[in-house]
Amino acid sequence: MVHQLEEPRAVLLGPNPGNGSYSTTEYFRFLAENLQSALGEPLASYCPGERQSVGDRGNTLASLVPRRRTWFDNYIRWPQELRTLTYDLFHVIDQGLGWYSRFLKGGRRLATIHDLFACLSLSGKIALPRPPRYREPLIRESIFQLRRMDHLVCVSQYTADCVVRELKFPASRITVVPNHLRAMFRPLMPKERVAARSKWFSDAEQVVLHVGKPSSYKNRPGVIRSFQTVKARIPSARLFLVHGPGTPEELALVRELGLEDTINFLPPLKTTELTQVYGAADVFVFPSVFEGFGWPPIEAMACACPVVCSRGGALGEVVGDAALTVDDPFDCRTIGEAVIEVLASEGVRRQLRERGLRRVEIYRPESILPQMAAVYRMLLRN
């Protein structure tokens, strides 16, 4: 007797690999590769530029440059493909892709909300640069479609509260499922730590680390200003900022504060390299202004690096009692004093390492996947 394979009832809809953010693409990949086993039934996954079953990608695209091809795949071919899909549940995995729902037919609709930064900056409610005008129609359409979803998953309670307040979406139709922590983030063995410290930090005696793009809400100038307080008390300390060279404004601030010889800008790093710098640093500092979740502090904790951070956005919720936290991300003196407290006390470092390693267990895949599977079962049953 031949058993036919069960057809998937649910589908994940992700970003174009050519222009999706790293975190969004990683979230899509994680669910596509792992959720099926927690769900206990087949799960389909598609994204622009990858689905081959509808039409022929053939010669018509061969002469287009990659950027034009990405645009064509996203806004011409992809809506046509979305119209052909027939599933009981469609899961749009990022708020910025909410516009996908306009082209779907039938089925229940689920979306994951990582943050509402685009919505809030568009309305002038947070101090972030306004999105480019050409993106505004897409953002507005996504907001419109998100309001019509059957259910939303938010990666933090902070983000869920923003959704209720800004989108007027019922709290009863929101489930909080945190982001997952990738397994490669782990503590270094003693020999690994010695090698990593020599490789990335040379002969630095006390290492303060920050990881984040020079986006305004990440508050890298606040990191630099807080380090001035640290340097005055601990002259041997050095600050390393990961994610490319300093901006002209950041470099001018470094010169103004006389910190040229003690601040180093490292390039964007691969995950394996990030594990090394987290694991080899003495303290990680992250005074972000807004976070829908906040990956870097959790990654640092998983690598047994003590964390000092603000409570901006979801950060206080995410780190719990496993970090030294400061209410005001612009209170550079208090942030610097918290860093000094960590550097000056092995007892504090040990306590934060232990709390951090316990805290990150709630973000492991084995904890997150059953929560998402439960949302799917609820929507597929109703």
Give yes or no for residue 159 having a pLDDT over 80.
Answer: yes
Residue 289 DSSP symbol: S
Predicted confidence (pLDDT) per residue in 131-153, tens digit: 888 889 999 999 999 999 999 99
| % of the chain with per-residue pLDDT over 70 | 94
- Would you state the torsion angle of the CA atoms of residues 349, 350, 353, 359, taken in this order, to the nearest 10 degrees? -120
Q: 307-310 and 108-113: which strand pairing? A: unpaired
pLDDT score for 129: 75
Residue in 152, 63, 79, 148 with CA at minimum distance from that of residue 115: 152
Determine the average pLDDT of the residues in 342-352.
98
pLDDT score for 70: 83
Determine the average pLDDT of the residues in 336-340.
98
Q: Are 339 and 308 within 8 A, CB to CB?
A: yes
Enter the pTM of the model. Answer: 0.91
pLDDT score for 20: 65
Give yes or no for residue 63 having a pLDDT over 90.
Answer: no
Q: Can you list the domains of the chain with their CATH numbers?
A: 10-180+364-381 (3.40.50.2000), 190-363 (3.40.50.2000)
Predicted confidence (pLDDT) per residue in 231-280, tens digit: 999 999 999 999 989 999 999 999 999 999 999 999 999 999 999 999 99
Predicted confidence (pLDDT) per residue in 269-327, tens digit: 999 999 999 999 999 999 999 999 999 999 999 999 999 999 999 999 999 999 999 99
Predicted confidence (pLDDT) per residue in 96-119, tens digit: 999 999 999 999 999 999 999 888
Q: How many angstroms separate the CA atoms of 302 and 367, rounded?
A: 15
Q: What's phi and psi for 374, nearest 5 deg? A: -65, -35
124: pLDDT confidence band, cut at 50, 70 and 90? confident
pLDDT score for 343: 98
Calculate the average pLDDT of the chain: 92
The CA–CA distances, whole Å, from 231 to 236, 336, 340 equal 7, 9, 9
Strand ranges in 199-276 using DSSP code E only, listed in sequence order = 206-211, 237-242, 263-266
Give yes or no for residue 18 having a pLDDT over 50.
Answer: yes
How far from each other are the two terminal CA atoms of the chain, in whole angstroms? 33
Which tokens belong to 264? 């180093």
3: pLDDT confidence band, cut at 50, 70 and 90? very low
Which of residues 337 and 70 earns the better pLDDT score? 337
Which residues, 6 or more positions from 100, have their beta carbon under 8 angstroms from its beta carbon? Answer: 13, 78, 82, 90, 92, 145
Determine the average pLDDT of the residues in 8-17.
95
